[in-house]
Amino acid sequence: MSDTPALPAVSREWHLLSRPVGWPKPDDFALADAEIRQPGPGEVLVRNKYLSVDPYMRGRMSAAKSYAAPFELGKAMQGGAVGEVIASGAEGMAPGDHVLHFGGWREYATIDAQHAVKVDPDAAPLSTYLGVLGMTGLTAYAGLLRTASFKEGDSVFVSGAAGAVGSQVGQIARLKGASRVIGSAGSDEKVKLLVEEYGFDAAFNYKNGPVSEQLRDAAPDGVDVYFDNVGGDHLEAAIGQLNQGGRIAVCGMISVYNNTEPAPGPKNLTRLIQTRGRIEGFLVGDHYDLQPQFVAEVGPWIRSGELKYRETVVEGIENNLEAFLGVLRGDNTGKMIVKL
């Protein structure tokens, strides 16, 4: 039986007021009140407990055609969320159940129950279903093992390696027998975390010098797999160090998300001819068939402590926007979570 407090009359939710040009500004957004709607047939009303903010959301703030529909102006934005069912008009879901869904950026959400998945708060902390055991974790798993065709003995380079996806990529590679795992991050503290806690063989602060030089020093024998979260000079450096038959999985390019002009591409693409290298982009939505395999393999590593994770937790719906901007700045270590 849930001990949920009485339902308020309104829910606070974030709206996009105008499409950002360059870096998003607070004036592009508003925290608005919305009436809480009771669920109809097949729907559930959820009180959100944890919200996710992710780099891909920057793309949805633009009107440009992409793999996900743009956020609508003047309406609530969406994102991953975990919460408690308060009222249900759907079979199989009852008050007190906890669900994962995409009605984030708000305190309460009335959603189609078909778009919600039950999660067990006793099996793992609720916040992990937004990160290490959720879409973030599956992104790392699918990108490394399927898109990049990782195999035992590969040397692996990960950019944005202290982030939610990157930290998991490096650890999965290590646990599955990589010969060497190298990561880049944006602070000396994060570099220390990668080596001392996550078990990377080498790591460097990309702010301390040219990425190409630092990568050559960290991977003198080259890299077989590059997992790209950053793009720009990191991608060019990885192509320069790619071994024969090397593979590059492009997950994200956070370094260019706020550019107002197209960023120049790598100047050394001809090296892919010499190495017979391959670059392939991917979206986690194309790989949900791996979810059972992912949970079966990664879940025990998390429970045993072999795979470690960090979360950066920001409290309060009023700080949701600042948490998102923090992700774009690289403020987070591991998954950025908003706790309500």
328: left (phi over 0), alpha (psi -120 to 50) or beta: alpha
Dist CA 29 CA 252 (whole Å): 24
Name the nearest CA neighbour of 6 among 103, 86, 88: 86
The confidence band for 229, taking pLDDT boundaries of 50, 70 and 90, is very high
Q: Give the range among 60-69, 149-158, 191-200 with minimum mean pLDDT.
A: 60-69
For strand 98-101 and strand 180-185, is the pairing parallel, antiparallel, or unpaired?
Answer: unpaired
Q: What is the pLDDT of residue 65?
A: 76
So what's the pLDDT on residue 291? 85
Above pLDDT 70, what percent of the chain? 97
What pLDDT shows up at residue 243? 98
CB atoms within 10 A of CB 282: 16
Give the containing element (helix H, strand E) for 326: helix 320-329
Summarised one tens digit per residue, pLDDT across range 24-47 is: 999 999 999 999 999 999 999 999
Q: Which is nearest to 204 in space by CA: 224, 223, 181, 188?
A: 188
Read off the pTM.
0.81
* Three-state DSSP class for residue 165: helix
The per-residue pLDDT for 90 is 96
Instruction: Report pLDDT digits (tens) over 85-137.
Output: 999 999 999 999 999 999 999 999 999 999 998 988 887 889 999 989 888 89
- pLDDT band per the 50, 70, 90 thresholds, residue 259: low
Does residue 269 carry a pLDDT above 90? Answer: yes
pLDDT in tens, 167-176: 999 999 999 9
Taking Cα atoms as reference points, which of 112, 102, 115 lies closest to residue 56? 102
The mean pLDDT of the chain is 93
Helix (H) or strand (E) holding 295, with range, is helix 291-304
Residue 260's pLDDT band (cuts 50, 70, 90): low
81-88/29-35 β-pairing: unpaired
- Complete DSSP assignment for 6-63: PPPSEEEEEEE-S--SSS--GGGEEEEEEEPPPP-TTEEEEEEEEEE--TTHHHHTS-
* pLDDT at residue 2, as a whole number: 44
